[in-house]
């Protein structure tokens, strides 16, 4: 199992994949109660387009318009046993942090850091030290603690009246879908795989039924819950169906979820963060225990992500009273689908 991936520090027990969910829980807040107040230019978001957990932060940063206040460092899609690396930058060095490996930022704060080096991470630019890698809390804080820096028209991704329902959906989606595909892919026994497979598709069936007559998971606008589900669905056919043996059916064969995923993909802030080439390169080349040859499959055909979804017939207002984000900055654009 990859030692530096999002599953870093996780393990297999009695054949079952167990994710290490102990993260650096320091928070960047409006009042700075943990010693790290929200400030323009003070922090750098380090992410990787390949990683579903990091992809959440890229989407939320776009939707809320945090680009002017929170710079972005992107690691390449592959890494070595020590750390994610800045292979996409000239000389393999992040131009702001001046480091080749994300590991350097972790060790700058915790010299004996014992866990996996994961993305996303927020790094304090001045000290070069990691502040947090708690990806689940990170996007919630973007929505609630960084409000002074939201763009005009930013959506309410974690509205107070809906938080309990969003939290409940998020728990199920994480347990059975986001992490469920990994439990299939890294199962160490047939029994563990069979159980994970059944649990994953039972959850997908439940979510599909929920979305049959509603455009979004909670309320009538996009929320944090949709962001979290989308990053797994968008990788399903390209990676999880084959690579992780989640092969009861492809996403394209699940009518409700396929239409829902295309609806989000075609919404500004979602599909324009997705780089399918990096996604496939990461999973198929890094997980050599699953794919020893490192061969990256040529398919699937991706042009169907741009076909009509007709979900607008269900109503709903993608951004509520807000507006879509502007196009990505030129330096942050992803390859267009052909």
Active site residues: 51, 182
**Cα–Cα distance for residue pair 269/56, rounded to 1 Å:** 10
Whole-number Å distance between alpha carbons of 291 and 243: 8
Burial (CB < 10 A; 0-12, 13-18, 19+), residue 158, is buried
Integer Cα distance of 104 and 9 in angstroms: 18
**CA separation for the pair 207, 220 (Å, rounded):** 16
Whether residue 36 contacts residue 123, with contact meaning beta carbons closer than 8 Å, is answered with no
Strand spans (E) along 75-229:
121-124, 129-132
15 CB neighbour count, 10 Å cutoff:
15
CA 108/CA 242 separation, integer angstroms: 39
Q: Are 238 and 276 in contact (CB under 8 A)?
A: yes
């Amino acid at each position: 199992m990859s030692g530096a991936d999002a599953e870093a520090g996780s393990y297999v027990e009695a054949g079952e994949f167990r994710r290490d969910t102990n993260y650096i829980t320091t928070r960047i807040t409006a009042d700075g109660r943990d010693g790290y107040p929200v400030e323009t230019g003070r922090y750098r978001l380090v992410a990787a387009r390949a990683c579903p957990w990091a992809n959440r932060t890229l989407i939320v940063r776009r939707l809320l318009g945090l680009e002017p206040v929170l710079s972005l460092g992107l690691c390449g899609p592959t890494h070595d046993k020590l750390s994610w690396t800045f292979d996409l930058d000239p000389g393999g060095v992040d131009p702001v942090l001046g480091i080749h490996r994300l590991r350097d930022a972790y060790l700058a704060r915790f010299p004996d850091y014992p866990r996996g080096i994961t993305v996303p991470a927020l790094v304090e630019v001045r000290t070069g030290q990691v502040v947090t890698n708690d990806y689940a809390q990170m996007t919630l804080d973007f929505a609630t603690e960084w409000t002074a820096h939201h763009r005009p028209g930013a959506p309410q991704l974690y509205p107070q009246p809906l938080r309990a329902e969003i939290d409940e959906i998020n728990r199920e989606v994480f347990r059975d879908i986001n992490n469920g595909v990994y439990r299939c892919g890294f199962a160490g026994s047939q029994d563990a795989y069979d159980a994970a497979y059944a649990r994953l598709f039972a959850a997908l069936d439940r979510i599909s039924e929920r979305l049959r007559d509603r455009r979004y998971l909670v309320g009538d606008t996009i929320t944090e819950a949709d962001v979290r589900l989308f990053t797994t669905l968008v990788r399903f056919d390209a990676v999880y169906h084959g690579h992780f043996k989640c092969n009861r059916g492809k996403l394209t064969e699940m009518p409700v979820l396929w239409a829902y995923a295309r609806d989000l993909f075609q919404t500004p802030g979602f599909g324009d963060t997705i780089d399918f080439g990096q996604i496939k390169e990461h999973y198929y080349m890094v997980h050599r225990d699953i794919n020893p040859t490192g061969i990256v499959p040529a398919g699937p055909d991706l042009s169907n992500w741009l076909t009509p979804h007709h979900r607008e017939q269900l109503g709903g207002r993608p951004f509520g009273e807000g507006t879509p984000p502007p196009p990505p900055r030129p330096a942050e654009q992803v390859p267009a689908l052909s």
